[in-house]
Amino acid sequence: MNKTVKLQDLGLKDYKETWDYQEELFKTTLDIKIKNRREGASLDTPNHFLMVEHPHVFTLGKSGDMENLLVDQKQLDKKGASFYKINRGGDITYHGPGQIVGYPILDLDNFFTDIHKYLRLLEEMVILTMAEYGLKGERSKGETGVWLDVGTPFARKICAMGVRASRWVTMHGFALNVNADLGYFDLMIPCGIKGKAVTSLNVELGRREVPMEEVRKKLIAHFEALFEAECIRVRPDYK
């Protein structure tokens, strides 16, 4: 069981290019698993963790409703935003500068074969990171992700999640608002959930900006502890 995770910081990168890169890594891992099964081989499967910021983009999961995007293509163009229908779970979400997006591409056979546990540990990673800033991150029943003030009229989401898995290999992941432009969330019904607000770490802390690398380091430390993994930072090797 390989618990080493190759950590890549992609910087600011186009959503579609990153998606294609995810698919490439995902397929490579699946191919190794299929080879092991068919040929009785015992090759280690790799684990990856991509961290990235995207230019403004809206994505709609396979079970999502287009009506939750409240603007048309012309308005998206005016806002400098793109749109993609993608193959993760969940509804509509937004990615943009000031947001830490994480894509773990893990072979869960190296850790545990339980998607529910996988999602709960990703949430816990964010909850523990929020605690380091004095914030109480929480889960909201039936609503994957991390929230603040759950069960009150002031409930607001700080981290969205949506994943895909095949043969216990994962892709897609989470988006944590750190210094996000919250105005873009007004262009959609976030995750298809009406009447719920969205927030960002800098807003909650009353700061103009929170250092992104500081938050990334905290997330990775909690990820390593929760998954009993070792993250090794490597240079991105996409074309």
Domain assignments of the chain as residue spans, ordered by start: 4-233
When mean pLDDT is compared over 85-89, 93-97, 107-111, the highest value belongs to 107-111
Strand 138-140 to strand 143-148: parallel, antiparallel, or no bridges (unpaired)? antiparallel
| Contact of 128 with 188, CB cutoff 8 Å | no
How far is the C-alpha of 27 from the C-alpha of 189, rounded, in Å? 32
Model confidence at 195, in pLDDT bands (50, 70, 90)?
Answer: low
Model confidence at 191, in pLDDT bands (50, 70, 90)?
Answer: low
Q: Is 159 a catalytic residue?
A: no
How far is the C-alpha of 55 from the C-alpha of 14, rounded, in Å? 6
pLDDT at 239 over 60: no
Within 8 A by CB and 6+ apart from 23, the residues are 171
172 dihedral zone (left: phi>0; alpha: psi -120 to 50; beta): left
Topology classification of domain 4-233: BirA Bifunctional Protein; domain 2 (3.30.930)
Residue 193: in which H helix or E strand, if any? none
> Which residues contribute to the annotated binding site for substrate?
88-95, 160-162, 173-175
> Which residues contribute to the annotated binding site?
88-95, 160-162, 173-175
Strand partners, 197: 156
Kindly give the interhelix angle for 115-131 and 212-227, rounded to the nearest 10 degrees: 140
Comparing 186 with 89, the larger pLDDT belongs to 186
pLDDT in tens, 135-182: 999 999 988 899 999 999 999 999 999 899 999 999 999 999 999 999
How far is the C-alpha of 2 from the C-alpha of 18, rounded, in Å? 24
Q: Catalytic residue among 51, 191, 201, 215, which?
A: 191
At residue 193, the pLDDT reads: 61
Reference 76, options 94, 100, 91; nearest CA is: 94
Place of tokens 């991390």: 146
Model confidence at 88, in pLDDT bands (50, 70, 90)?
Answer: confident
pTM beyond 0.75: the answer is yes
Rounded average pLDDT over 202-223: 98
